[in-house]
C-alpha cells in the first residue's frame, strides 16, 4: 500500500503550494490527499490512515490544535506524524503545539526544501539530489 500524506489548510493557495512542494514524493509513489477543514481532515485520517499530516492551525470551527489533540488521543491514530504548519509564531503557540502532541512545529512562510526533506524523512523516501 502506498504511503499517504494529508495536507490540511482552509486556504486553497496554501494547499496548492504544499502539493507542488511535495510533488517529488508523489513521483516516488506517495499519495497526496487534501482537506480544507478540521472535520474533513479527521474523516480522511480515519478512512485513509495517512502516515503524515501537514496541519494548519488557524482554521474555522475546529482549529489545528484540536485536530492534533484528537489524533493523538486516538490509540489507532496516535502514531500519525503531525506537522503543525502555521503563521502563529509566539512561544505560547509552540508550547501549545507540544502540549497537544504535535511532532513538529513549522512557521509560514515555510522553507519548501525543509518541508520536503522532513516529509521524505518521515516517509522513509530517498529523494534525488
Partner 1 sequence: MQRVDLRRVLRTSGATTTLVSVLDALAEPGCVVDLAGTVVLGDPSIDAATAHRVVVDQECVGEVRGGVGAAAVVQLLVELLQREREKRGLVRETLDRYKEISLLYGVAEKLTGVLDAHQIADIVLDEALRVLRGAGGAVLLFDHRTRQLEVLTCRGPKAGAPEFSDIRQVSPDRGILGRVYRTGQAEVVDDLIHEPDYKSFDEPVRSALCAPLRGGVEILGVLRFTSQTPQRWTAGDLKLVTSLATHAAAAMDNALLHRARMRHQRLASHLERYVSPLLLRAALADADHAEVVVLFTDLRQLDRTVIDADAALDTRSAVAIHVVLSHGGAVNRVAGDMLVAVFPGSSRKDCALRAIAAGRALAERLDALEIASGVPAIGISTSSLGSRSPVDLREPITCAASLQSSAQGGQVRVDRATQQCLHFDVEFAAVRPISVGDRTLECFEVVS
User: Residue 82 or residue 116: which is nearer to partner 1 going by CB?
Assistant: 116
Give me the least distance between CB of 77 and partner 1, in Å please: 25
Q: Which parts of this chain interact with partner 1 (CB under 8 A)?
A: 16-17, 19-21, 23, 26, 109-114, 129
Helices 64-73 and 38-48, axial angle in degrees (round to 10): 30
Helix (H) or strand (E) segment spanning residue 69: helix 64-73
Coil, helix or strand at residue 35: strand
Closest approach of Cβ 26 to partner 1, in Å?
7
Q: How far is the CB of 80 from partner 1 (least distance, A)?
A: 23
Strand order in the sheet with 104-107: 31-35, 4-8, 52-55, 81-86, 104-107
Nearer CB in complex with partner 1: 54/68: 54
Amino acid at each position: 500500500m502506498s504511503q499517504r500524506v494529508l495536507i490540511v489548510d482552509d486556504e486553497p493557495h496554501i494547499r496548492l503550494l504544499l502539493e507542488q512542494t511535495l510533488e517529488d514524493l508523489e513521483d516516488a509513489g506517495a499519495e497526496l490527499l487534501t482537506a480544507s477543514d478540521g472535520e474533513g481532515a479527521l474523516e480522511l485520517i480515519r478512512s485513509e490512515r495517512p502516515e503524515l499530516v501537514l496541519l494548519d492551525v488557524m482554521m474555522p470551527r475546529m482549529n489545528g490544535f484540536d485536530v492534533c489533540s484528537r489524533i493523538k488521543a486516538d490509540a489507532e491514530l496516535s502514531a500519525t506524524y503531525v506537522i503543525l504548519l502555521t503563521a502563529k509564531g509566539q512561544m505560547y503557540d509552540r508550547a501549545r503545539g507540544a502540549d497537544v502532541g504535535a511532532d513538529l512545529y513549522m512557521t509560514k512562510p515555510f522553507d519548501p526544501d525543509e518541508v520536503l526533506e522532513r516529509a521524505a524523512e518521515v516517509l522513509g523516501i530517498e529523494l534525488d539530489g
